[in-house]
Structure 1
Amino acid sequence: MKKILTMTFFSILCAGMLSGCGTDYDTADSTVFAFKDGSIVSTDVEKFDTGTYDKDDLEKYVNSEIDSYNKSDDGDVKLKSLDVEDGKAHLTVSYGSSKEYSAFNGTDMFCGTIAEALAAGYDFDAEFASIEGGKAKSCDKKDFIDSEGYKVVIYKGTSNIHVESDILFSSVDNVKLVDDKTVAVGSGYDIFNQSADSTENTEAAEPVSQTESTESTESTEASGGSVSDDDILNAVTEEQEVTFDFDKDDNEEEASYITYIIFK
């Protein structure tokens, strides 16, 4: 879900706040939020060395990239918050659609009806489970593929995925249930084995809160902005060029998985 901000080190998967109140996007883990109307919000959480880098310069860069994208693509990307605390950067960005999210971040994401997904060429070639009461049960895609009224999120990446209503079906591999509306995606996860460890996501996944997050949004709410993924994170100001390098963990590797989440 992703434009790479630093070619070798740091990738920011954007996050943003949509107009519908009630969801807290200030999550402990990077999360993509998908809504029934097709709009997308994503929150990216990454290490940020405040002793070396400056939040204001990062914010200027993010805003510049968003403005550039919106002007060139008639986009609707909006920076809602950028907060740095406890050695981590929390970036929140909203998108008008999954198509816009894909275009901006350089990754594959779809949010719409199952019929629309099939028409777009997605074949649902995966093992699936039905979800009820926090329990996963093996099922076949024929159990939902021809049903009307279902929405599907198809995502290529390793971020958590949160949908607007309860998850009804999910692909199995590299997926772990976090709560009724959220899954974590990472190597080693299996939806039938909730105790499985992931080598991709080292922090424990936490349920998504449903209370409005107000901290760190006011200062950036008024300024539109965005993050560009394929660019090396170099923020250029009139006075000087600022370069951000964000170190990954030594054992962290780039990986992505195709995940299907069906809700209604």
Structure 2
Amino acid sequence: METVTLGPQGTYSHRAARAVTDDGISFAESVRGIADAVANGDADRGVVPIENSIEGSVTETLDTLATVDLAVVREVVTPIRHALIAQREDFDTVASHSQALAQCRSYLDEHYPDADRQAVASTARSVELAREDASVAGIAHPDNAANGDLQVVATDIQDRNSNATRFFVVAPPDERSEAGGKSSFVVYPNANYPGLLLELLEPFADRDVNLSRVESRPSGERLGDYLFHVDVDAGLYEQRTQAALDDIEAIASEGWVRRLGSYDVEHVV
């Protein structure tokens, strides 16, 4: 099974993708690149980050799921263990993905307040920079320091030990399933009036369906126009979920509702 995720090798996305397959993993430079590869048939599965417990939702993934027709077939949750990796203990710059830098903000403020912070494409790329330049330290999983001339200067430097990231495993739309303990949707009501969001959420509350995440994103159509990403703790096979969606589709009759699918959750280390 050909699986594509964010590269290069050694990213947290790569670690999550290894829960899908042990081989046949390729890399893309963006979430949209992953989505297009799956949609075009160049890959069987894509693994994309959807939410971090500290920094919140990954907006690039939200926007991609609203524009590219894909099925969510699985969720992988992996703990995030950030380490400071460098050739030596003194350096001038700390580089990593912007989210990793944000997740280690308190540690860096306390221990390296004078070091420059450089956002790069991935945590793995920051390790490459550290290997190329002794004045740069990277932030990544400690395993990235293996088999090289780098050392782990400090481990578990994330601001919270509960730090974890959710990844969606996406597939072509014809593989969308109604079976699973969770479901995700994108709702574009193409309307704006007092009480609209309440109307969209009430069908779930009326049927005792728990909402595990609700997030709004600009539709891109016009200023002040939004669509909504919704995760629920129920499968599409359940009558209560289907009934709630029927009500929501009626409310959003001037827009659309995308059923991303139902799926189960796997926790990996």
TM-score tier (shorter): under 0.3
Which protein shows a greater Rg? 2
Kindly indicate whether structure 1 or structure 2 has the higher relative contact order, using CA contacts under 8 Å at least 6 residues apart: 1
TM-score by length of 2: 0.26
Greater share of helix: 2
TM-score by length of 1: 0.26
